[in-house]
Structure 1
Amino acid sequence: MKLSTMQRWISPKRSIQGKIFIAFIAVTLVSIISITVIVYMSMRETIMQNAITSVSDSIRQADESLNMMLEEIDRLNTVVVTNKNTVIDTLLSPNEEISYEWFQEQKRIDEFLSSLIDYKAYISRIAVVGLNGKVFFSGGPWLDRTILGTRMMDYMLQNGSRHAYFKQTGVSDAITIGREIRYDRAPIGVVMVDLNYEFIQKTYDVRPTTDSMIYVLDKEDEFVYETQADLSFAPSYQEIKKIHQQFTTNGEGVRQYIDGKEYIVVSRQSDYTGWSTIALIPMDSLLTESVRLRKLLAEVSIIVFVVVLIVSLQVSSRITLNIRKLKSLMMFVKDGNFTLPQKEIKSEDETGQLYLVFISMVEELKRLLEGIHLSEKEKREAELTALQAQIHPHFLYNSLNTIKYLARLNGVPNIEEVSGSLIELMRSVLGNSSEFLTLREELAYVEHYVSIMKYRYMKPIRLITEIEDDALLDCRVLKLMLQPLVENAIIHGIGPLEQDGFVLIRVYEDANHLNIDVVDNGKGITEEQQEYLLEGTGTNGETSRFSGMGVRNVHERIVRTYGDSYGVHLCSEPGLYTKAEIRLPKLEKSIRNTKREVI
């Protein structure tokens, strides 16, 4: 892996490729873990449900098989107890043993009993026991009159009105199904059929795992069948009895802890015998397959993750390839190189569009820089020209003072007045760099301007000022605001007149606004001329000669500074007067940073 690639993986937060790679890995890891957990839990649950279903079906089939054999035995018992000639008469016969009549009776009943159990391998013995001590049987083991008075005999007599079930233990295990033999409404004996216990063991050997346990209990909570495996961890009889009492009906499968170990308990109660079958399946053994499945899923997940890791690395690298190319181009331009190398990005996605925009931006930047270089060159040339033509204000002030001094020596007061007014006028214009000044200063500037203009027209021009309140003289106004209006009044109003003229400047306050009217008694102007003046030129196209700013300029400066509700408004009556109305906000305190040049 190259060094640049290594650096991208060392600091993935600074690399788009690293972020894409981490996003792929995060999504893949979460997906793999989620799918693995879901599959494992689903398979685990499926294994449990399959085990429960299998055991439930097996127990049901075992119960049905046992019930079929018990029903067959019940029919045999019915045949025996209803046979008068062979069974009942033999039991009631007075013939004693070791007599020919007794031998004939025994032979006849033995043949009868043998015919009943022939070809029935699940029956090990059938016996007829009379209360008078007569005992007849077919099959094994041996049976004699010692059966009388036993617990099994008493149980059969007490419960054998229909059929009774009793488990024998001892020489051979068997399930005995008995029924009373009655004559004249009185018991005279019992017929008993022994069900071979091996068939019961084979029938109920339905354990899903080797350490599972099956228990069959009768109505008295006695074991009819129990798992014979030597299991040291098998529950005690009390635990089985407790479970039997809890699950009296058929159960689909319940998880329960017994002696600290978790089991799945499946139970079923036979409708025919009333016996309950309980299956205990240890969870550990049942989920052995799920453990192997979990290991397999883990191995597959690791392999898939490694494959996705490699694929994600390649995919993220290909996705960010054009971005890295674009970055290298930007770094190339950053160093001041505007001639781009041949690194075209031909994709039509967002990166390709960014490349086209970047190329266009570089070309535009190159064009702008060339324009800036040209402008700078022209600016330097203009500055050089201006520097060569510049006359320092000190030289002008000193020259005008010299003219004023000579006019005084030679007794020429008009030249002295014009020179003095021009000095003060230039001092106001060139010596004050602020955009604002007080109204008092602006009026003084206008007075100096009028004193010069009256010598131009060789006739007196009166300047009349009406101030409503002297405090208004300290209000702040725009610099060179009144001069263009007064100049317009003199040039276009009073100048063409033959008689003397005047300019009236009236200052007054109106609703916290400062109003200034500039009125002359000139010939007046038409509406078209008013429009020309507001556009910056006179009726003859003559501009403001001294300041370079016309009425339009004054109006735009006021609007730009204070808003559309302020400005200049012209009104005139041809042959009588012209009035320029200025509306300004009243700003009493002037906060200025005025720089005056000391002469």
Structure 2
Amino acid sequence: MKRSIKSRISYFTVGVALITGIIISAISFLIYRHYDTYLLITQAETNTKYTTDYLNTRLSNIQNFVRWCQNNNEIINFTLDTTKSNTSLVAAYDHLSDEYKNTAEKDYIYRILIFKNNGKLIQVLDAAHADSMYLSEKAASIPFIQQALYTVDYDLSMGLIIDPYEHNKQTIILPLIRPIYNPYNADIIGIVMLEINASLFSDTFESSLSKGNSFFLTIDNHTYKYEGGLLSDVTSKEGYNFWNLELDTQYSPSRSDTSIRYGTNDEGAYVYYITQPMEQANCYVTQMIPAITYPQKTIPFFILLILILVVLMVGIIIAAYMNHIVTKPVINLQKRLEKVSNGDFTRDLSIESSDEFGLIGQRINNMAEDINLLITNRLAFEKERQDIEYQLLQSQINPHFLYNTLGSIKWMATVQNVPGIAKMTTALSRLLKSISKIENVNIPISLECSLLDDYFTIQKYRYGGSIEMKYEVEDTSLLDYSILRFTLQPIVENSIFHGIEPKETAGLITIRIFSPDHNKIQIDIIDNGIGMDSFTIDNLLKANTGCKSNFFKDLGISSVHKRLQYEFGSSYGLSFQSEVGKYTKTSILLPKILSETNVKGEIPSYDDINCR
């Protein structure tokens, strides 16, 4: 019993609706949780990147200020000054103070110190820090200052420390220490020490912090947690060694330099750590976000979500099944019709079945086979028609031409008693033999030249030797390529009767054979006859032209052109170039196709061939 497509869709829809609700709950929950976590991590990653970029910009500005201190002429003169005068000191202080006031990050530069090797120093700081205004000349002898002089440029590995010059309060700073070099040699003549207030980091973290999240700053081997407006060192505290956690493989970061780790915090809760490197070496910003949990109160929300997803899934499955039994067969039928239109008429069993679409597919296959049979029969008919037409052409030798030829032979027999008669008779015999014996339409160029030479021998005696013909062959291997039989004879005959004969002087016909490129052959037939005007050239290839062959009935220039295009394509055939009173050149363009005919011809007068 066959079921219609409509009934199959109905039964399948009821069955899918019954079982979909059983499995959809778990799947929808997992998808929602994954997507929600992905959004949380993506937002945290973006926030961490923004915070890191902000800190990088601030620190870059501060480092540029330190470079200015290292290269300022007034400061260098102060460090080089060995006199007891304070002139250079005052000038350096003024320049340093002005630059400090114009620096965008002055609110986070706690103190600037310029030390000379003899112990003298310049200090610039905010007036609020007056308790540390006056420093001893031994201030530069602090051990970590001397160590920092020989570290990598702008190395921050010292981390956050308590300001060593404070007496009444403990201010957390990040020291930045660089040497001042003698401009005339590589000697260190002074020190620049800049104290970055830790509030640079705490203020930045505070502006980017979301509820429940935490920020960490890692400088070399030191890790600091921002909490309650302060940065506290948690390097050695248990629960904060997140660097030992493996990278999370479930959620990939959007940036290649960002890392995501999953683990527990100091309270044992599951969290994600999103880490972004800073531009400074071995410095990182890490944001900790809690993993999403789903308390009991969210259950009604998920029930509603599950119901929506159930309906959606049922619709998707019905659509998929409809696609399978309706849309897909229609697409297959369309593809099959496209193949038929492109010439593929083979039977495609994949579109045949017992339903309505299968019956349509069966009819399409039957139609394709009928079209294929019709085309095959038509091609066979056309081939047979061409063969018959060509055989008729071979048998339609113009009696008038034979009459004239025999008359010429008779005249030669009366006037001369030797070789002329023999040559004309031999040429005519070979020509007639070629017409009647050779059945191939495509022959080698060498054989076509032999036929042409036999024809020309007869015409040469007819005109009393007043016409000549020579060959110029670029490469004799070109003579092995294929050409249609009796392509050259009508063109040469046209050159004699319509070009040279009206001129009433001696004439020369040159046959030039060469290859214009690697896949074409060109044969130029050039005569020094009366030439043609542009109107004659434009009408030469028309079917009703009067340029007919006396040797073959209805085989004129236009017929030769059509035969070439029918055989080789529209890009091949004849073209003409002429100048009235001087010459006419007929060019034949052929494809390079080696002849399959075993019969080869010869151009009798090879001594006259000019091989270039």
TM-score of the superposition, structure 1-length normalised?
Answer: 0.39
Answer with 1 or 2: which has the greater Rg.
Answer: 1
TM-score of the superposition, structure 2-length normalised?
Answer: 0.38
